[in-house]
Chains A and B, each alone.
Chain A
Amino acid sequence: MSTSSTSSAAASPAVSGLDYDDTALTLALPGSSSAADLAAADRKRAHADHDMPPSPKARAVGWPPVRAYRRNALRDEQAKLVKVAVDGAPYLRKVDLAAHDGYAALLRALHGMFASCLGADGAGRLVDAATGAEYVPTYEDKDGDWMLVGDVPFKMFVDSCKRIRLMKSSEAVSLSPRTSSQ
């Protein structure tokens, strides 16, 4: 009924969030309202895309008839790519903030990207692989101020972060007298 692309994912993202009153027309299989059929519908919902807001009334798989390619393309629009600079690294990288569900995951991803110059210490902090000096993750927010990563809730951070800089902690320390005077 419309354009689309096949998806090889086993989980179906296509459960729509149809919101039905208990008394309104339901979407049970035609001619049946047996427990078995409802259970089958429940199983279908259980396989639904976990990213979706939970919708207890959702019934129909593959409805509305929109190709998986289109669904994914419009969802990916939410991706938030920001530049990441690491002091001493020869070039910058970009990371998708929306692809991570928290600070820990994000720092892991950063560690992976800059693995050649970064390691992680026992406490999960990012350190220079050669000197053991710690990196301080900072970011530039919407107002243009450089902030320490981790103070605000992650979603708020994702929203306001424009770019990230992993600062060598020696430099960060030297900044602090100035910041504390503001």
Chain B
Amino acid sequence: MTYFPEEVVEHIFSFLPSHSDRNTVSLVCKVWYEVERLSRRAVFVGNCYAVRPERVVLRFPNVKALTVKGKPHFADFNLVPPDWGGYAGPWIEAAARSCVGLEELRMKRMVVSDENLELLARSFPRFKVLVLISCEGFSTDGLAAIASHCKLLRELDLQENDVEDRGPRWLSFFPDSCTSLVSLNFACIKGEVNSGALERLVARSPNLRSLRLNRSVSVDTLSKILVRTPNLEDLGTGNLTDEFQAESYARLTSALEKCKMLRSLSGFWDASPICVPYIYPLCHQLTGLNLSYTPTLDYSDLTKMVSRCVKLQRLWVLDCISDKGLQVVASSCKDLQELRVFPSDFYVAGASAVTEEGLVAISSGCPKLSSLLYFCHQMTNEALITVAKNCPNFIRFRLCILEPKKPDAMTGQPLDEGFGAIVRECKGLRRLSMSGLLTDKVFMYIGKYAKYLEMLSIAFAGDSDKGMMDVMNGCKNLRKLEIRDSPFGDVALLGNVAKYETMRSLWMSSCNVTLKGCQVLASKMPMLNVEIMNELDGSSEMEENHADLSKVDKLYVSEMEENHTDLSKVDKLYVYRTTAGARDDAPNFVKIL
């Protein structure tokens, strides 16, 4: 193939579907490396600290779509202290210098500032797509900059970000000449938006296919908007409270009925049960439904809606649906592929109306189920074994029993056999989160059977280092391992150090690893960043110590460390492979060994 002209090689590469395939061909020879890098259009960086932004943009100068992920997953649950890092600035700045053709930027769990958004808006004249998921650090002023300068903007998709509200004017910054919007999602914006500006924006966006409003948008505004968007495929409503007259709802229904392409519905902020019948005409065509932010709808409202959604593939609900409601789902939604049941009450254990019975019902009624997130009050091995037999197609299986270390509700046994059945039957399982009482045995099963497992989340589980080692040695495709409050220590940490080079990252918090163990790991594996974070009294008093051990003159160790032996336990450990070396933006509570 090296005798083909480069254009032909490039054309052949364009058929490669995945990043990993393109990465692989780039290793074949220098010619292929060059062809591949110059023709690469999409780059995915799973860990923003694994590689320097400058290196990425220099290697792929023609990149059109860049995806970068920042903080580790457990940051979602406040296990990563604020100011840990994950800054978007260096990426946007590097791209602004070297890749002005950039058209799409997707970021997850990163810290993005208004200045970053301003730079983004001004630097890329063909910019089309901005997707920010679980990010923070910016305000509606940054959105105003995007709206006003990105003349070709097609997608502005803000999912579950923490955005500072500086008023409704940002939406008015979309110029009258902006008619290219295909997708607009501002559901996470807390404040009001100008409904007139919103209606006008929608009216001049004939290509709009996805629109997700925030809870400030009224039923009347929604009706007016829907009249303009007969081709809408995905809708997130504003609020559906009962402050509004039946007349408003009648207008809403007739507007909804015109949206024949509508397949996905979400929002339902503060939805009153009164609104439910007005949605009925739509139910039969829905493939996606998200009611997980609506605690005001109870089991009977939910089941009336869901029983009509015969084509449903994706359902997100709160546990107020209860086991009975899940039985209705099981008998109505035969095409269901993804189910997420969230807890409505975080503060009282055992208040969930959802148990193993609901899950068993779903598994027997919905054999296509492949993705599950299930918060419940209790579980049994028998149920999990039944679920595994009924649904061998699981790709993602995440089970959270609200009370940590809770055993089988019928037998009092650990749930090892149940999860063992899951990994044994579901041969394509890629992601697993476990809970309840679990011993080393479950990890033995995982290591033995979960050949395609890529991500594993462990909490309050296991007895000894053997558990973690079985996973590290057995799961050939493991990329991300995150562990909290489990008795794994240095022996497990150091049992298979070469493995970390094949993984994206390891997180361990409130486990038994010690400073000494981490130091050994760091010294054996220079390609890894070993970050430790300790909770000390008044951690701001701790001396800064970005420990690059070769630079002895810069090294000064806090008093605490001098007095502790190296056998002191490490609170939080984050290990990741990197070509970038120790990062220079770490705060003083992060020590990089």
Residues of A within 8 A of B (CB): 1-10, 12-14, 16-19, 25, 27, 29-31, 40, 43-44, 52-53, 55, 60-71, 73-74, 77
Contacts and interface: CB of A to CB of B under 8 A. Distances in A.
B510 A29 contact: yes
B10 interface: no
29 contacts: A1-B433, A1-B435, A1-B459, A3-B340, A5-B134, A5-B136, A6-B80, A6-B109, A8-B82, A13-B78, A16-B346, A16-B349, A17-B349, A27-B460, A29-B485, A30-B510, A31-B487, A40-B535, A60-B404, A61-B78, A61-B79, A62-B484, A65-B76, A65-B433, A68-B76, A70-B160, A70-B292, A73-B293, A74-B295
B403 interface: yes
A1 B347 CA distance: 18
Nearest 5 pairs of A and B residues by beta carbon = A4-B76, A62-B77, A5-B160, A17-B347, A30-B487
Nearest to A25: B405
Contacts of B340: 2-3
B343 A12 contact: no
Given A7-B162, A61-B78, A64-B402, A2 B346 contact: no
Interface string B453-490: 00001011000000000000000000000001111000
Contacts of A62: 74, 77-79, 484
B343 A19 contact: no
Interface residue tally on B, bucketed by range? 35 or more
B77 A3 contact: no
A43 B535 contact: yes
Contacts of A52: 347
A77 to B, nearest CB: 6
A53 B350 CA distance: 16
Between B404, B460, B512, the greatest number of chain A beta carbons within 10 A of the residue's beta carbon is seen for B404
Given A4-B77, A9-B82, A67 B134 contact: yes
A41 to B, nearest CB: 10
B348 interface: yes
Nearest to A1: B433
A3 B160 contact: yes
B270 A64 contact: no
B296 A5 contact: no
Contacts of A69: 134, 160-162, 188
Nearest to B401: A64
A16 B350 CA distance: 12
A11 to B, nearest CB: 9
B75 interface: yes
Please indicate which of the listed interface residues A19, A71, A77 has the most CB atoms of chain B within 10 Å of its own CB. A77
B162 A30 contact: no
Contacts of A55: 347
A10 B535 CA distance: 14
Given A6-B162, A12-B78, A62-B77, A30 B485 contact: yes
B485 A64 contact: no
A52 B349 CA distance: 14
Contacts of B79: 61-62
A13 to B, nearest CB: 7
B511 interface: yes
Contacts of A1: 77, 398, 400, 433, 435, 457, 459
B394 interface: no
A73 B163 CA distance: 13
Contact of A64 (B82, B296, B375): B375
B348 A17 contact: yes
Contacts of A12: 78
A118 B295 CA distance: 38
Given A4-B77, A17-B346, A30-B510, 8 more contacts: A1-B400, A29-B485, A43-B537, A52-B347, A63-B404, A64-B343, A67-B76, A70-B342
A138 B510 CA distance: 54
Contacts of B137: 8
B160 A67 contact: yes
A3 B292 CA distance: 11
A8 B137 CA distance: 8
B135 interface: yes
Given A63-B77, A74-B344, A4 B510 contact: no
Contacts of A71: 346
A18 B295 CA distance: 21
A73 B316 CA distance: 15
Contacts of B295: 74, 77
B494 interface: no
B581 to A, nearest CB: 25
Contact of B76 (A5, A13, A25, A60): A5
A102 to B, nearest CB: 24
B349 A19 contact: yes
Contacts of B64: none
B507 to A, nearest CB: 12
Contacts of B348: 17, 19
Nearest to B511: A30
Contacts of B405: 25, 27
Nearest to B347: A17
Interface in B485-539: 485-487, 510-512, 535, 537
